[in-house]
Amino acid sequence: MTNGTAIKKNYRNKRAYVKVKGAIINPITTRQIPLDCECRIDTGFDGGIMLPFWHMDELRDINVEARPTNITVADGRKVPAYVCVAHIQELENHPFLMPGRPVMLVMFGKLEGVLLGMDSLKYTTILFDGPNQAYTMNP
Amino acid sequence: MLANVGFSQEGERNWLRLEYDESEVPFAGKKEIQSGLSSKFYDINKPEGPLINRPYFTPADEPVLLGFRNRPTPWLPLTIIDKIDKLRKGIIDKTEMVNLIKKKAEISIDFYNISAERYVAIRFDGRVVEDANSEIELLLKIQGRDYGIPVFVWHVGHDSFLGWNL
């Protein structure tokens, strides 16, 4: 975690946030929708990025259908959700090779913010420094 | 607007004449009755504003609606076909949706004898259209493709595709 690409960032409201840039791409037509958001890091979430379900509507603009499935939420309930692939192209201004890292995008109703889950972090090292309310990330 | 309602009394036909305000009667004067499902999904619930900073829905607000064009005629049990038809009409609730996906996945995986730990994409008429070793690989295969009937994804041998899988 000491090389030049390490990113150090303070928590906000006791939570770790990271800026994410990417795109949802239709591989057949290459049309895409940009994704630019600040995500809360959630190590309890298996997926890549979680967004409110109404983004499904925007996917139809590029002829991408989010696929329904069942997911298990934190209280153990099974609920329907919609999934597709997004490509993360930047994490906190650290770029990845195009078209980016493919991650699972989950669309589900109740969210207090956009979440970044473990599927997005499978190639990333993160050190959480609780006492100093900061984290160091090596994308 | 006036309306005549007929009834017979001891062999004699009488007419009851009703008068009502057209504005109070739903769909009065309209040639087509709209289902209301699309407006529920696209207009009423969808807030305005930038993508990320919108207020959020509660799970109860979230509709379950898929883009079926035709009623599927699969080889599945009648109870499941009825559920698919409800889904096509947009009147299925979330619990029914969860059970439908789970039941359908069980039947299709058993029929096609798919091994555990595979990720599969299954049409709502029961046909498996793709499978893969990982969820990303599967989603990349089916992204942007139109299979005619909506497709759901499943992790074979698990209770759900994502989350605390047991």
Q: Give the whole-angstrom CA distance, residue A132 versus residue A73.
A: 30
What does the domain layout of chain A look like in residue ranges?
15-123
Question: Looking at the complex, does the CB of residue A43 fall below 8 Å from at least one CB of chain B?
Answer: no
**What is the rounded (10 degree) CA torsion for A31, B38, B105, A87?**
20
Count Cβ atoms within 10 A of the Cβ of residue B21 and give its class: 0-12 exposed, 13-18 middle, 19 or more buried.
Answer: exposed
Structural domain harbouring B118: 2-155
Q: A119 vs B136: CB contact, 8 Å cut-off?
A: yes
How much is the pTM?
Answer: 0.71
pLDDT digits (tens, 9 = 90+) for A58-99: 888 888 889 999 998 888 888 889 999 999 999 988 999 888
Q: What local confidence, expressed as pLDDT, does residue B164 receive?
A: 66
Q: A79 vs B98: CB contact, 8 Å cut-off?
A: yes
User: Is the Cβ–Cβ distance between B161 and B101 less than 8 Å?
Assistant: no
Q: Which residue has the higher pLDDT, B55 or B83?
A: B83
ipTM of the complex: 0.88
Question: Looking at the complex, does the CB of residue A64 fall below 8 Å from at least one CB of chain B?
Answer: yes
Q: A104 vs B162: CB contact, 8 Å cut-off?
A: yes
Establish if B161 belongs to a structural domain. Answer: no
Q: A102 vs B136: CB contact, 8 Å cut-off?
A: yes
Across the interface, of B97, B139, B165, the residue whose CB is closest to A85 is B139
Number of domains in chain B: 1
Q: A15-123: CATH homologous superfamily? A: Acid Proteases (2.40.70.10)
Count Cβ atoms within 10 A of the Cβ of residue B51 and give its class: 0-12 exposed, 13-18 middle, 19 or more buried.
Answer: middle
Establish if B52 belongs to a structural domain. Answer: yes
* Mean pLDDT of the region B148-166: 84
pLDDT digits (tens, 9 = 90+) for B76-106: 777 888 888 777 777 778 888 888 899 889 8
Q: Tokens for B43?
A: 């207009």
